[in-house]
Amino acid sequence: MTYSGWGRTLTADGELARPERRTAVTAQGPAIGNRRSYGDAALNDNGRATDMTRLDRIIGFDGDIVHVEAGCTIATLARIFAPKGYLPAVMPGTGFATVGGAIGMDVHGKNHHNDGSFGQHVTEITLLGIDGTRAITPADEVIWKATIGGLGQTGVILSAKAAVEAYHRRPIARYRTARAKLGPAHRNAGREYGDLLCGLD
Ligand SMILES: Cc1cc2nc3c(=O)[nH]c(=O)nc-3n(C[C@H](O)[C@H](O)[C@H](O)COP(=O)(O)OP(=O)(O)OC[C@H]3O[C@@H](n4cnc5c(N)ncnc54)[C@H](O)[C@@H]3O)c2cc1C
């Protein structure tokens, strides 16, 4: 089939597997999520790829850690956990990103200045590589660092354990400032507020 990323400027032709069970996933090609990457990161032209979006189950929840299949979207996690008072610790600007894509791109949210990127809140990944399936943690330093933000190059992320955080209603403040003062204004607001969004007009 022909498919594209979010930017729609580039397309790929190739076979896409859409497994429903983790046991049916093979390491024959890279995994892709919901193709919300702007460029060609999720495209494997003239090759095979595994679309992970049917693997979207929540496997477990313990304390503030959710164990989830890699095709589950950030929006699904928010929909399920927000009524219980939790949200994913880092949320990119699109809820359509999958957990696998959020790890593969090590996405950031509006709280990056305080909380870092998505990968910093992942505690374990079940990875299907060319030599089989294994659970990796930050203690597996080399493969861990190569997997977080690794564009799926170390194997297929089947599932992950990631933090959800209790959220509190926070005041929303709006500042306008001249461009010359943007740097200091940004730094001050960053100290004061957990989430920060900045625009130029
Ligand atoms: C409107 C919009 C707003 C956005 N805002 C932000 C933002 O605020 N912050 C930010 O950082 N990004 C942002 N992005 C980018 C987006 O969050 C990332 O590109 C994210 O990776 C998309 O997730 P996906 O599931 O669609 O992954 P895909 O685009 O399908 O894949 C991304 C990469 O991850 C790999 N991958 C996906 N699933 C797996 C898996 N299961 N195992 C192994 N590798 C895998 C793929 O091979 C590919 O290299 C935004 C995108 C859009 C469209």
According to the model, what pLDDT value does residue 169 have?
Answer: 66
If asked whether residues 91 and 128 sit together in one domain, one would say yes
Contact assessment for residue 20 and residue 53, using Cβ atoms and an 8 Å cutoff: no
- What span, in angstroms and rounded, lies between the C-alpha atoms of 29 and 46? 11
According to the model, what pLDDT value does residue 69 have?
Answer: 98
Distance 191 CA to ligand 1 centre (A): 28
Domains: count for the chain: 2
If asked whether residues 119 and 25 sit together in one domain, one would say yes
User: Which regions of the chain are under pLDDT 50?
Assistant: none
Answer yes or no: is the C-beta of 68 below 6 A from any ligand 1 atom. no
If asked whether residues 10 and 51 sit together in one domain, one would say yes
Answer yes or no: is the C-beta of 157 below 6 A from any ligand 1 atom. yes
Answer yes or no: is the C-beta of 125 below 6 A from any ligand 1 atom. no
If asked whether residues 38 and 111 sit together in one domain, one would say yes
Task: Give the atom of ligand 1 at the shortest distance from the alpha carbon of 104.
Answer: 34
Distance 98 CA to ligand 1 centre (A): 7
If asked whether residues 160 and 185 sit together in one domain, one would say no
- What span, in angstroms and rounded, lies between the C-alpha atoms of 27 and 35? 19
The pLDDT tens digits for 69-93 are: 999 999 999 999 999 999 999 999 9
Which CATH number goes with the domain that contains 12?
3.30.465.10
If asked whether residues 11 and 77 sit together in one domain, one would say yes
If asked whether residues 90 and 104 sit together in one domain, one would say yes
If asked whether residues 102 and 180 sit together in one domain, one would say no
If asked whether residues 134 and 201 sit together in one domain, one would say no
Answer yes or no: is the C-beta of 119 below 6 A from any ligand 1 atom. no
Q: Is the pTM of this model over 0.85?
A: yes
If asked whether residues 187 and 113 sit together in one domain, one would say no
According to the model, what pLDDT value does residue 156 have?
Answer: 98
Q: If we measure between CA atoms, which residue out of 150, 154, 158, 159 comes closest to residue 130?
A: 154
According to the model, what pLDDT value does residue 40 have?
Answer: 95
Answer yes or no: is the C-beta of 117 below 6 A from any ligand 1 atom. no
Answer yes or no: is the C-beta of 128 below 6 A from any ligand 1 atom. no
According to the model, what pLDDT value does residue 68 have?
Answer: 98
If asked whether residues 152 and 175 sit together in one domain, one would say no
- What span, in angstroms and rounded, lies between the C-alpha atoms of 168 and 183? 27
Range of the domain at 176: 171-201
According to the model, what pLDDT value does residue 103 have?
Answer: 98
Residue 197, helix vs strand vs coil: coil
If asked whether residues 162 and 175 sit together in one domain, one would say no
